[in-house]
Amino acid sequence: MITEIAAAITERLESLAIFHSVERKITKQTRSNPPAAVFYLAGEHPVQESPEMMRRLNWDILVIARALDTGIGQKSADYCIDAVRNAFFGWMPVSAGCNPAVPGEIVLLESAAGGNLVYAMELGIECYPSYFK
């Protein structure tokens, strides 16, 4: 289930055609060649008790943009954040077994650390594991 959804997230981010790289972890390439997207599974927990237990997968998507200055760098970061949020609002990672994705809060994690702006967006996806067996 997690592998299939991670592959779908990768495909969705790459389809935006705005990132130099899309990775599952922060690498030297993502830090040195922004804009880049990095995502990882931040948590997983039950949503309801039932014969088909629903699970909520919480992903963090990091948008790494160059902080050239307060104008150009921030404008680039804003564009990437908007594109990511819009790409995942109501998105279905697979054809069956999941509810539409819900983008959550967006927060600034780093400001100009190594010359980059790093934003994190939460993405919640509720799934029925039985569909992925």
pTM: 0.89
Closest CA to 32 of 118, 121, 116: 116
Half-sphere exposure for 11 (CA within 13 Å, toward CB): 10
**φ and ψ at 47, to 5 degrees?**
-100, -40
pLDDT, tens digit, 9 for 90 and up, residues 34-80: 999 999 999 998 887 666 688 899 999 999 988 765 566 678 888 99
Q: Is 20 helix (H, G, I), strand (E, B) or coil?
A: coil
In this structure, are residues 84 and 121 in contact, taking their beta carbons and an 8 Å threshold?
yes
Give the DSSP H/E element, type plus range, for residue 39.
Answer: strand 36-48
| Whole-number pLDDT of residue 63 | 95
CA gap 81, 88 in Å, rounded: 11
**Sheet (strand 36-48) strand order:** 21-23, 36-48, 54-66, 116-127, 102-113
Closest CA to 13 of 35, 40, 31, 37: 37
CA gap 23, 126 in Å, rounded: 22
Q: Which CATH number applies to 2-132?
A: 3.30.2000.10
pLDDT band at residue 112 using 50, 70 and 90 as cut-offs = low
